[in-house]
Structure 1
Amino acid sequence: MIIHPVGDGEGHISLYLAIVGTSSLHADWEVNASFSFLIFDQIHENYTVMKGMERRFRNIKTEWGYLKCISHETFKDPSNGYLVNDKCIFGVDVYVIKNQGIGECLLSLNGVKPYKHEWKINEFAKLKSYVYSEEFTVEGYKWKLLLYHTGNSGQNGQSISVFLESVDAEGFARKKRVKAKFSISMKNQISMWTVEHWFSAAARNWGWPSFMPCCMFHDTKKGFLIQDSSIVQADVSVVGVVNCLN
């Protein structure tokens, strides 16, 4: 792992993953890897996933990463616990993807009506940094919503972050994926963002880090927060499933 503390020179830390020890490999070698950069929260004693990607390493490209991985402002914010007593801990999760010649079966689900789920959040002011909804089932798969009421890493309390998470994905086989088309909105919100994502063991949730500005959410004229309660609505359709062929 390569760390550039001054990064892009515009207030960010840069992180890269490099492959080494390739001199013994054949001339046209290539390695496919899925990896995520982590930073340790020394206050709550857990790792936060900053960013991740899946890339091919080879002779002409031996390192991959992010020029703007995390801002200095977020990194130095005492409430995040990333920098304590001038010490920090970075990490990286790396999975080498081996081509084993395993076939895949794709099942496309057409004409499926979206499942509508409403989640009422009470005592909003007393929430911890994040909260999960109750589980709900769509096409035999379990899901739940994840909300950070002051935003997840990098939002600095500016926006609410909302994600859809697959409950089952943690137990998926490595090649199994479920594609969901979904939209999430706050009650009384006119417009909704819609996205499609393949959920897997390596990518269990997906959504919007900057879902809604906190100032808009707390504006009493908007009607999103009433008597310290709010309602999040999700419309979810499972539109595809990939399984391995044994």
Structure 2
Amino acid sequence: MGCYLFEITAMETREAPPAHLLVKVESFSLLGTCGIDEYETTEFVAGDYKWRLIIYFNGKNCEYVSVSLAMADTSSLPANWEVNVVFNIFLYNQISGNYLSSPGRTRCFLETKSEWGISKFISKKIMSDPSNGYLVNDNIVFGAEVVVVKKDPIIECVSLNNINIHYKHDFKISDFSKLNERCFSEQFIAGGQKWKIILDPKGSGTGTDIHVSIFLNHLGLERVQACFTLATINDPNKGFIVNDCCLLIMDIHTYLGSRSLQWD
């Protein structure tokens, strides 16, 4: 069936060791002397499946080491089986104590495609230089981590009907110049949902001490925010503050929708 190889453009570094396999290859230089071009690790289990890491010391390109992940035992799997996994291959840095890792890739393992690999995992020149920390005292350590992607998603379908319903709510604030803290409107209903208007005279976030902040607070998870500069909101010539009273008029547009756990 062969190995299906792909290339990666960049490697990652992490502190945590791989979760499923570490394999130390001692007397690495003797592999070439003995004519050993590849090595298959012992079986390991991840996601209820058995796997092997295969290291191709001469790779598809003699300047690189190639690695692959293969399913080790598929005899008990049903016909037309399919296993989707995200896997990483690791190389231990014996100087820094961290791991060079291939970025996670999702691959589909099938009866006719049960081995996936990386054609250019690491160049032999970089790996063989002891100062890089990978091959030290003729020893090198590889690793693997496999996460099986289970096919049991929660399916949700959101349907928005093209019905735009407009609501307006007034919020009158007296003694505006004396406000030091947030003030809240009474709770009101719009679009079948509960809301409140919040005014923060000192501003919020990047608008602190610069703007007055106004929030439309859905009494659930979402909110809508608008801001006005203090210079504008306190300008009686523009009619925003009259007799130390501010009237906020909030226009709300809602769209009717429905949600289901399936779609056609």
TM-score normalised to structure 2 length? 0.45
TM-score (norm 1): 0.48
Bigger Rg, which one: 2
